[in-house]
Chain A
Amino acid sequence: MESSPVSLTIDGRTIQASPDMTILEAAQQIGIEIPTICYHEHCTANALCRICVVEVSNARALVPACIATVQEGMEVQTHSERVHRARRTILEMLHSSVDLSEAPEILAMARNYNADPQRFPDAWRREPPVIDDNPMYIRDYAKCILCWRCVQVCAEDAQYTYAINFSGRGYETQISTFFHHPMPETTCVFCGQCVGVCPTGALKPKREWLLEQGYAPEVIMNLTRSERRGKKRRANLAV
């Protein structure tokens, strides 16, 4: 059943869009770029990071463009001062608490929005230790921005395995297995869909991580089984 298109304006330009389209998609159609972080075309949009917020006439709060659908007569501002301030603050808060060193897109965005990395100097940084509990990938949640893509691809967006979810609440929120069990003891099938969608390097193939730690390829390929599993220290092997 084809429903008739709706008419709306985005940044002053009047366009026709199908009513099941999101504001993000409608804007993309006419070449207006709305920044996204947690959004991924392959995953269900959740409006978690709020970087895609836009100003909509008659709406009290800013509206996340990745999930809000277009409506007849809607007037959308994608780059107003209010929108920019919100985006800047989000980026500054991310900077204050998360290691963004392997998220070049977010860093570039922060520069574009003149975000001040030192705006919240006293913020409590999230710095949990790297979890190295299996031979396939590591989890470095100090880099995690809680975009939820990994949880979604582990669930209905791809794998239907449900090995991971949020644990904790508020600032304590972290992606975890149930009861923090080591990954091999969960339903995980090590497909690595989660690694494939991670935007910040929090999830990383084990061999990539070892290479970054300074191990030479030959050293990596000569690790013993228990060294690969992460049970024994590798201190003596570093080059």
Chain B
Amino acid sequence: MLTPERIVSTVCPFCGVGCNLELHVRDGFIYKVTSPFESVVNHGNLCVKGRFGYDFIYNPQRVTVPLIRKTPQRPGERTQAFDLSEWREVSWDEALDYVADRLVEIYRREGSHAMAVYCCAKATNEDNYLLQKMFRALFRTNNVDHCTRLCHAASVVALQMAIGSAAMSNTAAEVIENDVFILTGSNPTENHPIIALQMKAAVRKHGAKLIVVDPRRIEMVDYATLYLPIKPGTDVPVFSAMAHVILKEGLYNRQFIAERTENFDAFAASMEKFTPEYAESISGVDRNLIIEAARLYATAKNAAIYWALGIPESSHGVANALSLINLALLTGHIGRRGTGLNPLRGQNNVQGASDSGAMPWHYPGYQRVDVEQNARRWEQAWHIEPGGLSRELGLTTTEILSSVGQGGVRALYIMGENPMMSEPNLNHTRKKMQELEFLVAQDLFINESGAFADVFLPAASWAEKEGTFTNTDRRVQRVRQVIPPRGQSRPDWEIICDLAKRIEKRLGRPQTAYWDYRHPSEVLEEMGRYVPEYAGVTYERLEREGGLQTPVWDHQHPGTPFLFADTFPRGRGKFHPLEYAPNAEMPDEDYPFVLSTGRVLEHWHGGTLTRHSWLDDLFPEPLVDIHPGDAARLGIQDGDAVRVTSRRGSIVLRAHITPKTNPGVVFIPFHFREAAANLLTHDILDPQAKIPEYKAAVVRVTKARPEELGARAEPQVRGRY
């Protein structure tokens, strides 16, 4: 029996739930993870990733020495180097001087618009704050974004348009206080496992009624009172038809509408055409189910809506999200405990990275970059001459890559992200990565994107540094160092500060923006001085009180478990009239299936971490989910090799025949480089949120020869749903 030398409390590095972990350590080896049963977030429960998936830290393939490519890379001829023999081990001084020289040279020659950075929703608030500060203060560019663009960008835009906020309105654990809740575009048993436990308990133990609206028959359907098997991308007609029924049957909340909202009449008029019959004809959902769902939601005492990426990841993602917001405003199911509009955020710190300004249109705290007084505030914060900061909206994640080339972005700095797996239409992404003049990767592993880099900076993992994460319900929690950084790796915040000082010196700026932080707590303190929502969040309080839910307006403020009790940030909640727009691609004879992409329980996003973990043993190869009816028609058996082809690319993988996906829809997780789902997806964006339509590319499925699978891991039997 082992006794730990130390047990350190920290936060899980995987999803947005933000589970509390206790890491048990001996001789620098984390051998066990437990969780405190009194944790308000997860009550001692964890999922497979949180409890067992931390071992990527010790993976022998992890890179812990700074590297520079042996062969100089030229724009257009850039290649991928996965093998260490193609890299030269260098000192930190050499690596950082080289990065500073190259970045400054490109900046001087090409100007601000040539510089761009991908921040990271896995890194801490402090890391992200500093990286956006480096690019804004030193290179005077707002080309700063991260993967929020690829996940909830449309939810954020819609929430800002309608109520002026950009986060979950309520606390995840409040789900047990719902009488009725709608779950749509979300598969929480795999993607937010601990919230799923609370949802199951809400149904089984607390009498809540669940309405699932989803193109996949996910596990939560087993707990649902109503299941609406919607065709991909028909969210607006279904939710608007619910609004139509609520309006026709007079089930709306007149007092709430009069006191708290605006634009009701125009909205009500636009709902006229969304009859349940019309919605049925588009979505395939029985009109009676829509009517029942509308009545159930509208007449509940407390009802809430939870959604994930099935709503925003669409060419009409903003409209999808608005159709949900309209329902909440119509019924007044917002601003009380057990109600609300709750986009479940994906990454452990996507809320925090967004709060910390890792976004092209906003400084930290969602302060627009094109508002003069905001720019002035940050010029003062960072000791920059008046007018020094850019007032121009920066490029978003997808725009950064598509603008790469002459006169566009020339230098890209990637902290922890993996666009070569996560961007849509990867063949296009590859061309753009090849065209970069200079690329820096700061990560734990040489992933598909880092393999293109000129310089690789080895970062410390979450267990090797101090900081804070902000989870999906706006809870800021402490991330604590458990073991020393492996090898020569360094915490991201330290790397950024060291590099920023070298860049600043080369630029000869008269005053420093300040990079001499001794501890991440000083970074959060700086951010709190200029971001009112974080004004009361200090390390001292986090140590004493545990998590704090933003906004925390001052040092006495207790934090905010649920939002909008009295008013919305924009004043009145605004109804938005809606029109139905089909997906950018619709199925046809050549491409009869709609491809939905997403995650599986055992893996995380581009796979940089989980495919370097024993988690990979549980789900070692890519699979495409096909409905039994479709499979029978195509003559495909479970485990057969199939080729899935879209207008942009083609991949070969094994078929998984399952009723979990509905007829006409196939599902492929996007973690697997062997058959990258994003070779198939298209890069048509929502016009307002610039988010790609990951959930609805059209494809055809044909039988392939087993040898076309190439070298794949031996299939793993898996009994879970």
B-binding residues in A (CB < 8 A): 41-42, 101-102, 134-137, 153, 156, 158-161, 163, 181-182, 184-193, 195-196, 201, 205-208, 211-212, 217, 221-222, 225, 228-229
Also in contact, A156 and B721, with CB within 8 A (given A135-B618, A191-B46): no
Chain A, residue nearest B52 (CB) = A136
Q: Mark B52-69, 1 if CB is under 8 A from A, else 0.
A: 100100111000000000
Contacts of B55 in A (CB 8 A): 207, 221
Question: Quick check: A208 and B614 within 8 Å, CB to CB?
Answer: no
> How many Å from the CB of A110 to the closest CB on chain B?
16
The 7 lowest CB-CB distance pairs between A and B, nearest first, are A190-B48, A192-B51, A217-B29, A135-B617, A102-B1, A221-B58, A185-B719
Question: Which B611-645 residues have C-beta < 8 A from chain A?
Answer: 614, 616-618, 620
Question: Quick check: B618 and A190 within 8 Å, CB to CB?
Answer: yes
Question: Quick check: A217 and B1 within 8 Å, CB to CB?
Answer: no
Contacts of B60 in A (CB 8 A): 221-222
User: At the interface, yes or no: B717 with Cβ under 8 Å from chain A?
Assistant: yes
Question: Quick check: A42 and B44 within 8 Å, CB to CB?
Answer: yes
Chain A, residue nearest B35 (CB) = A196
Chain B, residue nearest A221 (CB) = B58
User: At the interface, yes or no: B601 with Cβ under 8 Å from chain A?
Assistant: yes
Question: Quick check: B51 and A184 within 8 Å, CB to CB?
Answer: no
Question: Quick check: B716 and A191 within 8 Å, CB to CB?
Answer: no
Contacts of B251 in A (CB 8 A): none
Contact of A205 among B31, B716, B718 (CB under 8 A): B31
Contacts of B1 in A (CB 8 A): 101-102, 201, 212
A sample of 12 more A-B contacts (CB under 8 A), given A42-B44, A201-B1, A206-B614, is A158-B45, A184-B618, A189-B47, A193-B45, A196-B46, A205-B32, A205-B52, A207-B31, A208-B31, A217-B28, A217-B58, A228-B617
Q: Mark B677-695, 1 if CB is under 8 A from A, else 0.
A: 0000000000000000000
Chain A, residue nearest B33 (CB) = A205
Contacts of A207 in B (CB 8 A): 31-32, 55
> How many Å from the CB of A13 to the closest CB on chain B?
28
> How many Å from the CB of B615 to the closest CB on chain A?
8
Docked Cα-Cα span, A212 to B31, in Å, equals 10
Question: Quick check: A217 and B27 within 8 Å, CB to CB?
Answer: yes
Also in contact, A191 and B47, with CB within 8 A (given A160-B197, A184-B618, A208-B32): yes
User: At the interface, yes or no: B88 with Cβ under 8 Å from chain A?
Assistant: no
Also in contact, A211 and B44, with CB within 8 A (given A156-B204, A160-B200, A228-B614): no
Docked Cα-Cα span, A205 to B22, in Å, equals 14
Contact of B43 among A42, A161, A211, A212 (CB under 8 A): A42
User: At the interface, yes or no: B542 with Cβ under 8 Å from chain A?
Assistant: no
Residue among A156, A190, A193, A212 with most chain B CB within 10 A: A190
Question: Which B1-50 residues have C-beta < 8 A from chain A?
Answer: 1-2, 24, 26-29, 31-35, 37, 43-48
User: At the interface, yes or no: B713 with Cβ under 8 Å from chain A?
Assistant: yes
Question: Quick check: A225 and B713 within 8 Å, CB to CB?
Answer: yes
Docked Cα-Cα span, A217 to B618, in Å, equals 21
User: At the interface, yes or no: B193 with Cβ under 8 Å from chain A?
Assistant: yes
Chain B, residue nearest A156 (CB) = B204
User: At the interface, yes or no: B720 with Cβ under 8 Å from chain A?
Assistant: yes
A-binding residues in B (CB < 8 A): 1-2, 24, 26-29, 31-35, 37, 43-48, 51-52, 55, 58-60, 189, 193, 197, 200, 204-205, 601-602, 614, 616-618, 620, 713, 716-721
Docked Cα-Cα span, A134 to B718, in Å, equals 11
> How many Å from the CB of A174 to the closest CB on chain B?
20
**14 A-B interface contacts by CB (under 8 A):** A41-B37, A158-B45, A184-B618, A189-B189, A205-B32, A205-B33, A205-B52, A211-B2, A211-B31, A212-B2, A221-B55, A221-B58, A225-B620, A225-B713
Docked Cα-Cα span, A95 to B22, in Å, equals 31
Chain A, residue nearest B24 (CB) = A208
Docked Cα-Cα span, A42 to B39, in Å, equals 11
Docked Cα-Cα span, A158 to B26, in Å, equals 29
> How many Å from the CB of B713 to the closest CB on chain A?
7
Question: Quick check: A196 and B719 within 8 Å, CB to CB?
Answer: no
Question: Quick check: A187 and B721 within 8 Å, CB to CB?
Answer: yes
Also in contact, A186 and B719, with CB within 8 A (given A135-B618, A211-B29): yes
Question: Quick check: A184 and B717 within 8 Å, CB to CB?
Answer: yes
Contacts of A217 in B (CB 8 A): 27-29, 58
Docked Cα-Cα span, A153 to B24, in Å, equals 22
Chain B, residue nearest A211 (CB) = B31
Residue among B43, B48, B204, B713 with most chain A CB within 10 A: B48
Docked Cα-Cα span, A188 to B29, in Å, equals 27
Docked Cα-Cα span, A185 to B618, in Å, equals 11
> How many Å from the CB of B254 to the closest CB on chain A?
32
Residue among B43, B46, B616, B713 with most chain A CB within 10 A: B46
Chain B, residue nearest A184 (CB) = B717
Contacts of B200 in A (CB 8 A): 160
Residue among B24, B48, B719 with most chain A CB within 10 A: B719
> How many Å from the CB of A228 to the closest CB on chain B?
6
Contacts of B31 in A (CB 8 A): 205, 207-208, 211
Contacts of A205 in B (CB 8 A): 31-33, 51-52
> How many Å from the CB of B42 to the closest CB on chain A?
10
Docked Cα-Cα span, A207 to B55, in Å, equals 9
Chain B, residue nearest A160 (CB) = B200
Contacts of B44 in A (CB 8 A): 42, 193, 196
Docked Cα-Cα span, A92 to B602, in Å, equals 43
> How many Å from the CB of B79 to the closest CB on chain A?
29
> How many Å from the CB of B197 to the closest CB on chain A?
6
Question: Quick check: A191 and B37 within 8 Å, CB to CB?
Answer: no
Chain B, residue nearest A137 (CB) = B52
Question: Quick check: B719 and A159 within 8 Å, CB to CB?
Answer: no
Contacts of A222 in B (CB 8 A): 60
> How many Å from the CB of A141 to the closest CB on chain B?
17
Contacts of A156 in B (CB 8 A): 204-205
Docked Cα-Cα span, A208 to B602, in Å, equals 20
Chain A, residue nearest B57 (CB) = A221
> How many Å from the CB of A70 to the closest CB on chain B?
23
Contacts of A225 in B (CB 8 A): 616-617, 620, 713
Docked Cα-Cα span, A101 to B1, in Å, equals 8
Chain B, residue nearest A183 (CB) = B719
Question: Quick check: B45 and A135 within 8 Å, CB to CB?
Answer: no
> How many Å from the CB of B41 to the closest CB on chain A?
14
Contact of A221 among B32, B59, B618 (CB under 8 A): B59
Question: Quick check: A42 and B37 within 8 Å, CB to CB?
Answer: yes
Chain B, residue nearest A40 (CB) = B37
Chain B, residue nearest A217 (CB) = B29
Contacts of B58 in A (CB 8 A): 217, 221
> How many Å from the CB of B609 to the closest CB on chain A?
15
Docked Cα-Cα span, A236 to B568, in Å, equals 65
Question: Quick check: B29 and A187 within 8 Å, CB to CB?
Answer: no
> How many Å from the CB of B196 to the closest CB on chain A?
9
Chain B, residue nearest A193 (CB) = B45
Contact of B719 among A101, A181, A229 (CB under 8 A): A181
Chain B, residue nearest A101 (CB) = B1
Contacts of B51 in A (CB 8 A): 136, 190-192, 195-196, 205
Question: Quick check: A188 and B46 within 8 Å, CB to CB?
Answer: no
Contacts of B620 in A (CB 8 A): 225
> How many Å from the CB of A178 to the closest CB on chain B?
10
Question: Quick check: A192 and B26 within 8 Å, CB to CB?
Answer: no
Residue among B2, B31, B33, B37 with most chain A CB within 10 A: B31
Question: Quick check: A191 and B617 within 8 Å, CB to CB?
Answer: no
> How many Å from the CB of A213 to the closest CB on chain B?
11
Question: Quick check: A184 and B716 within 8 Å, CB to CB?
Answer: yes
Also in contact, A184 and B718, with CB within 8 A (given A160-B204, A211-B29): yes
Docked Cα-Cα span, A57 to B187, in Å, equals 53
Residue among A134, A160, A163 with most chain B CB within 10 A: A160
Contact of B2 among A101, A134, A208 (CB under 8 A): A208
Docked Cα-Cα span, A101 to B26, in Å, equals 20
Residue among A41, A134, A196 with most chain B CB within 10 A: A196
Chain B, residue nearest A41 (CB) = B37
Question: Quick check: B45 and A187 within 8 Å, CB to CB?
Answer: no
